[in-house]
Amino acid sequence: MSKAIPFIISSPSGGGKTTILKKVLAGLPGIVFSISHTTRSPRPGEVNGRDYYFVTEEEFIAVREQTPSGFIEWARVHDNFYGTSRSDVEMRLKEGADVILDIDIQGARQVKDAIEAVSIFIAPPSLTELERRLRGRGTESEEVVALRLANARRELTAAAEYDYLVINDSLSEAVEMVRSILISERSRKRRNIDGNSVELNIS
């Protein structure tokens, strides 16, 4: 029996997590995206219950204050609250699905302290290119873009805390790298051993 794996993916805003994950998850069965709760407003095209659970600050606090906390991790990021539902993640893992958490560096630290997870950091090729992509996305006001870029420098210094680093220069190469990491981690020997023996069907 192989064990389901929690994966963490982080990057500065505009680093490419959403774009890469959409492509990777479309072609890889058995892995699900963890839908976070957030107090930020939906962007055009984002759907409640698919991209995020969009909640009020009161609703967020109510989940956070449950005992034990309804969130496996939560953080204030770029002036909004974000959190990962404990029961959602536990249920998915119990069902045997690998789960991918798109969370910031503060949340990643909390998850790594709580459970054994595989972490991937996506970095842009440069800060100039990050700014170009973030502005090009056109989903944030000038004020929000400035805040996210200011936070990016600090977030990039956390890259060394992650198991894997993927530079998102060419999109197709970054997608292939993330896909390869997920597939390789699934094949690690320790995940496929019950007790001490590995049974290979060799005749």
Residues 93-152 that bind ligand 5GP (CB under 6 A): 102-104, 106-107
Q: Counting contacts by CB under 6 A, is residue 36 touching ligand ADP?
A: no
Shortest Å distance, C-beta 97 to ligand ADP: 22
Nearer to ligand 5GP, 98 or 102 (CB): 102
Question: Pick from 2, 18, 80, 106: which binds ligand ADP (CB under 6 A)?
Answer: 18
Residue 2's binding partner among ligand 5GP, ligand ADP, none (Cβ under 5 to 8 angstroms by kind) is none
State which H helix or E strand residue 54 sits in: strand 52-54
Give the interface segment with ligand 5GP, choosing from 55-63, 80-88, 120-128, 177-185 (CB under 6 A).
80-88
Q: Counting contacts by CB under 6 A, is residue 31 touching ligand 5GP?
A: no
Q: Counting contacts by CB under 6 A, is residue 171 touching ligand ADP?
A: yes
Shortest Å distance, C-beta 194 to ligand 5GP: 32
Question: Pick from 5, 8, 13, 24: which binds ligand ADP (CB under 6 A)?
Answer: 13
Shortest Å distance, C-beta 166 to ligand 5GP: 15
In this structure, which long-range contacts are made by residues 35-39, counting pairs with CB atoms below 8 Å and at least 24 apart in sequence? 35/85, 35/88, 36/82, 36/83, 36/84, 36/85, 36/101, 36/102, 36/103, 37/63, 37/71, 37/81, 37/82, 37/83, 37/84, 37/85, 38/80, 38/81, 38/82, 38/83, 39/80, 39/81, 39/82
Nearer to ligand 5GP, 5 or 12 (CB): 12
Position of tokens 């034990």?
68
Question: Pick from 3, 40, 133, 135: which binds ligand 5GP (CB under 6 A)?
Answer: 40
- How many angstroms separate the CA atoms of 90 and 103, rounded? 16
Q: Both tokens of residue 119? A: 């972490």
CA distances from residue 151 to 73, 92, 96, 144, 189 in whole angstroms, order as listed: 20, 31, 35, 11, 38
